[in-house]
Structure 1
Amino acid sequence: MEFQAIILCGPGSDLAPLVSPTLPKALLPIANKPMVYYPLEWCQRAGVSSVIVACSSGVEPMVSQYVTLGYNSTQGSKMKVEVIGLDCETGMIIWNLKDKIKHDFILLPCDFITDLPPQIVVDVHRNQPLHTIGTGLWYKNTLDSIDKKTLKPNLTIHTPSSALHPQLLDIYPPPKGNSQLHVRMSMLWEYPQATISTSLLESFVYVMSRRVLDHEFGDSVAVPSTNAADKNGLLESKDWKKPWTTVIRDISRDSWRRAKESERDTMRFFIVPKEYNFLRCQSISAYFEANRLILKQTPFARPPQTAVAKGAAIGRDSLVGIGTEMEEKTSVKRSIVGADCKFGRECRLSGCVVMDGVIIGDNVQLDNCIIGNGVVIESRVRLAGCTVEGRYIVRSGTQSKNEVLRGYSVEGLLNSSDEDIEEYDEDDDSDDDENINESELEESDGEGISDDDDDLFDRGR
């Protein structure tokens, strides 16, 4: 069975101040490779025929340039990769790509890191019962190093995970305060052993049948009128003009709302096995942990001669980019350093992520820090557990701990948005269930990496 893949690239505002108009989330480096490289590489191992990378129209040229000049030219991949700019809900993105989707497809986020072989996920879907329309991947977070406040687990209702083919039944946000969860009796009559999971996180990895685009929602068929196009030229459909998680929820509910029908579409449910790592880079702490994971898995690569020519000491547990220069008595341990950086004398880096083009003066100490592109750090600076925005200048003698160092502008404050996560359309629910707010239904971060107490990238909590 041939598969296509669709990679969705969100704005990543929860990764501020690392993302910017010139550095979108999809291109944010993890171990000196753009974030979108990892799902592309996962798709290549899965043997998919073609990939569509969907991002906002504002960053489409930058992402396209990387795919053309960066990924395709270096990987030698025969996989066809197309970048498309679409500014709409994720459900509408899929709907507007329907003419390009010729086969069953794999839907992926741009921000996941895993060592789970793609063939396992594909095989699980292939072995599902006949009327399975899709298989979703869920995971549990086991990393204490990821800020738990950034994790937003939903109440995921499913048949027992011990069953041969677990089925997804419903999704709710967690009740607030002492509010009650209202579950439909029609579901409980048919699935009396339904399980409510409070710790599972949505990976946003789905293997879907092509016929999902023809799925009938309730009593209506999701077909737009011939003249239903908005000002951006996007086809409209009330059943698809919503976040993808809402689409999945509605399909799952239809499977038991229409219980008397002999043929009905079902969503299946698969949990990442505990022996594999899975995390999503949806927060600063998760991004930091992703670099840690990749660094552990990367074989030792000899640093460029420019970095060691003057006697700098670079540990075998570190990764240094091309063109980086370091002066004598500089030490780098358990760190990732980007390309074309310049380090002064007697600098000490431990457990840091340093992006491209950073300039560091003499006698600087950095512990468990993330340093953005083009940052200038003057002499005698001491930073611990800090995140520094790209292009920021850290003045000589600065001493900071667990702070975010960034510049602010009136324009930036006026244009700032806190909607990195998708929001549920509260008017799309046709029954009496509680309205769902996807700010709490967001597919969340991090998971599954065994923290072996090696203090690698151990930022203060």
Structure 2
Amino acid sequence: MEFQPVVMAAGRGSRMTDLTCKSHKALLPIGNMPMMWYPINMLEMAGFTEAIVVVLDSFATEAQKVLTEICDVKMRLDFIGIPDTEYWGTADVLRHIKDRIKTDVLIISSDLISDVSIHDIANVHRTYDATITSLLSNIPEQYNEIPAPGPKSKKKPEKDYIGLDEKGCRVLFYTPEADLDAEKVKISKSLLKRHPCVSIKSNLTDCHLYLMKKWVIDFLMEKRSISSIKGELLPYLTKKQFSKPKREDLPNTDASVLSANVAKDIFSFISQDPMLKKVEKTSTWIDHTGDMDNCYHGNQIRCYAYLQSSGFCARTNTVSSYCEINKQIPRLLQALAPEKEIPTKHSSAVIKGTSQVGSECLVGEGVTIGDKVSIKRSVIGKHCTVGDKVKITNSVILDHVNIGECCNIQGSIVSSNSHIIDKSDLKDCIVGTGENVKGKYTNEALTDVHRMIEI
């Protein structure tokens, strides 16, 4: 196996706590399939037969049951739990599973939904024999501008400033907006000497999909101060591309001191397998001329990116993105899972009388819809009951929800096991798990979390 897939599914959903306070983020339904099924389906479509799935201990059993029994995943999944009491970053997780990693690794977040071909990303990684190759996209930017259900927030999404070479595939500069000094982008002279043309992008999204050399994980065991891949490891590797090993910087150092320093230097972890060197010289994947003439042979660390410029790509890490992706998923399912038949209206669903359910909707298993109901651009979860004369527009209704007669629900998310009383009117609201709601609300978060904050 060339790349060992690792699905990061232990995230707590800190940016969408109204939805995750009683549910695990990775199991939140998108189009009536759990969120974490989508990246696993990507891997399955790319031909992978096994993967490591990292989850919190508290839902490891549930995740395994949902994916194998309900989603019918054929891949062999090795579930590894991490303690619920630990707040580890993605780099911390790699250290935790180091003994399970035998080859170069493919890391993918459980909240990524994309129709990108993993083969295309792998081709860039192979061509330049990259240390790390990231998936970048400017497609998800639209979701940051869509108003989210619930209380209005003025918080702006954080940007990353990414410098690319003239070909647009080598990452020369990478820093989060929060790390900028007085909003000034500083570029070293050594970088500009090698790459006088640097294109700085602030509208690209790091999709949290990485192809990475195995030796990087060995380095992380030494560099324990690095906690996350995106926020710390990637900027660190990007800067190190144009550095030199410490051995070259300390020519007159005593041998014992030199040995201690080199052991901590990132360059000492880079594989020097003679067979790999022969492969590099003869490989048809590696371009030894042009860009590679100066960059490939001159740098032992190389950071690259694949930019997805068409199709669909988004991360479900905010309430607004979760809501919008659910609205779009009915038209995307065929492209995302062409080999899996997912009906827009489950055969067990009962739609009474003159009710109308739009073609851009999804209706789950065991749903009962009363008479004179109108449902547009919405997802109705499993085993829901919708009363007579109800209007549902641009909304996401999760599993086991009971909606009474004559209700009007617009632009809202209603969490599992909730009950919306007759004649209620919800506009741009979030209803928490197991809530009973009656009345008229606009831009409200009707959840235990907000009630505790108010008290």
Q: TM-score, normalised by structure 1?
A: 0.76
The CA deviation at 1:40 is 0.4
Distance in 2 (CA, whole Å) between partners of 1:84 and 1:134 is 24
Instruction: Please tell me whether the aligned partners of residues 333 and 350 of structure 1 are also in contact (alpha carbons under 8 angstroms).
Output: yes
Distance in 1 (CA, whole Å) between partners of 2:5 and 2:30 is 22
Instruction: Please tell me whether the aligned partners of residues 187 and 257 of structure 1 are also in contact (alpha carbons under 8 angstroms).
Output: no
Residue in 2 aligned with 1:433?
Answer: none
Residue in 1 aligned with 2:229?
Answer: 244
Which amino acid letter does the alignment assign opposite residue 15 of structure 2? D
Tell me which of 265, 268, 280 is aligned to 2:304: 268
Alignment of 1:139 with 2:137, yes or no, is yes
Name the CA shift for 1:242/1:149 in 2 (closer, same or farther; >3 Å).
same
| Equivalent runs, 1:332-411 vs 2, <5 Å | 332-395=375-438, 398-408=439-449
Instruction: Please tell me whether the aligned partners of residues 91 and 229 of structure 2 are also in contact (alpha carbons under 8 angstroms).
Output: yes
Alignment of 1:196 with 2:200, yes or no, is yes
The CA deviation at 1:293 is 2.3
Alignment of 1:85 with 2:67, yes or no, is no
The one-character-per-residue Cα deviations of 1:117-172 (angstroms, maximum 9, x if unpaired) are: 222222222222x4x21211111144265359453211223323x25x52343324
Q: Secondary structure at the match of 1:17?
A: helix
| Equivalent runs, 1:173-192 vs 2, <5 Å | 173=177, 178-192=182-196
Instruction: Please tell me whether the aligned partners of residues 158 and 176 of structure 2 are also in contact (alpha carbons under 8 angstroms).
Output: no
Residue in 1 aligned with 2:47?
Answer: 47
Q: Higher helix share goes to which structure?
A: 2
Residue in 2 aligned with 1:440?
Answer: none
The CA deviation at 1:263 is 5.4
The CA deviation at 1:240 is 5.9
Residue in 1 aligned with 2:109?
Answer: 109
Residue in 1 aligned with 2:252?
Answer: none
Name the CA shift for 1:33/1:89 in 2 (closer, same or farther; >3 Å).
same
Instruction: Please tell me whether the aligned partners of residues 45 and 118 of structure 1 are also in contact (alpha carbons under 8 angstroms).
Output: no
Residue in 2 aligned with 1:293?
Answer: 328
Q: Secondary structure at the match of 2:197?
A: coil
Residue in 1 aligned with 2:291?
Answer: none
Q: Secondary structure at the match of 2:314?
A: strand
Mark the runs of 5 or more structure 2 residues left unpaired by the alignment.
Answer: 148-153, 249-296, 335-342
Which amino acid letter does the alignment assign opposite residue 83 of structure 1? F
Which amino acid letter does the alignment assign opposite residue 57 of structure 1? D
Which amino acid letter does the alignment assign opposite residue 20 of structure 2? V
The CA deviation at 1:314 is 2.3
Tell me the number of residue pairs that the alignment of Structure 1 and Structure 2 aligns.
382
Instruction: Please tell me whether the aligned partners of residues 2 and 49 of structure 1 are also in contact (alpha carbons under 8 angstroms).
Output: no
Distance in 2 (CA, whole Å) between partners of 1:291 and 1:167 is 32
Alignment of 1:206 with 2:191, yes or no, is no
% identical aligned pairs? 23
Which amino acid letter does the alignment assign opposite residue 257 of structure 1? S
Alignment of 1:255 with 2:241, yes or no, is yes
Instruction: Please tell me whether the aligned partners of residues 347 and 362 of structure 1 are also in contact (alpha carbons under 8 angstroms).
Output: yes
Instruction: Please tell me whether the aligned partners of residues 172 and 191 of structure 2 are also in contact (alpha carbons under 8 angstroms).
Output: no
Instruction: Please tell me whether the aligned partners of residues 152 and 201 of structure 1 are also in contact (alpha carbons under 8 angstroms).
Output: no
Instruction: Please tell me whether the aligned partners of residues 304 and 320 of structure 1 are also in contact (alpha carbons under 8 angstroms).
Output: no
Q: Mean Cα displacement is larger for which, 143-152 or 313-322?
A: 143-152
Distance in 2 (CA, whole Å) between partners of 1:382 and 1:172 is 41
Name the CA shift for 1:177/1:238 in 2 (closer, same or farther; >3 Å).
closer
Name the CA shift for 1:293/1:124 in 2 (closer, same or farther; >3 Å).
farther
Instruction: Please tell me whether the aligned partners of residues 103 and 214 of structure 2 are also in contact (alpha carbons under 8 angstroms).
Output: yes
| Equivalent runs, 1:440-451 vs 2, <5 Å | none
Residue in 1 aligned with 2:313?
Answer: 278
Residue in 1 aligned with 2:14?
Answer: 13
Distance in 2 (CA, whole Å) between partners of 1:212 and 1:60 is 27
Distance in 2 (CA, whole Å) between partners of 1:333 and 1:284 is 20
The CA deviation at 1:336 is 0.8
Q: Mean Cα displacement is larger for which, 103-112 or 261-270?
A: 261-270
Instruction: Please tell me whether the aligned partners of residues 349 and 368 of structure 2 are also in contact (alpha carbons under 8 angstroms).
Output: yes
Distance in 1 (CA, whole Å) between partners of 2:105 and 2:207 is 16
Q: Secondary structure at the match of 1:379?
A: coil
Name the CA shift for 1:83/1:252 in 2 (closer, same or farther; >3 Å).
same
Name the CA shift for 1:294/1:379 in 2 (closer, same or farther; >3 Å).
same
The CA deviation at 1:302 is 3.8
Distance in 1 (CA, whole Å) between partners of 2:2 and 2:185 is 41
Which amino acid letter does the alignment assign opposite residue 201 of structure 2? S
Distance in 1 (CA, whole Å) between partners of 2:215 and 2:18 is 40
CA RMSD in angstroms comes to: 2.7
Which amino acid letter does the alignment assign opposite residue 327 of structure 2? R
Name the CA shift for 1:316/1:249 in 2 (closer, same or farther; >3 Å).
same
Residue in 2 aligned with 1:123?
Answer: 123
Residue in 2 aligned with 1:234?
Answer: none
Residue in 1 aligned with 2:289?
Answer: none
Name the CA shift for 1:102/1:301 in 2 (closer, same or farther; >3 Å).
same
Q: Secondary structure at the match of 2:327?
A: helix
Q: Mean Cα displacement is larger for which, 112-121 or 56-65?
A: 56-65
Q: Secondary structure at the match of 1:390?
A: coil
Distance in 2 (CA, whole Å) between partners of 1:15 and 1:387 is 11
Name the CA shift for 1:178/1:207 in 2 (closer, same or farther; >3 Å).
closer
The CA deviation at 1:108 is 0.7
Q: Secondary structure at the match of 1:58?
A: helix
The CA deviation at 1:272 is 1.1
Instruction: Please tell me whether the aligned partners of residues 13 and 25 of structure 2 are also in contact (alpha carbons under 8 angstroms).
Output: yes
The CA deviation at 1:81 is 0.8
Residue in 2 aligned with 1:100?
Answer: 100
Distance in 1 (CA, whole Å) between partners of 2:176 and 2:156 is 18
Distance in 2 (CA, whole Å) between partners of 1:392 and 1:339 is 17
Mark the runs of 5 or more structure 1 residues left unpaired by the alignment.
Answer: 216-221, 224-236, 415-461
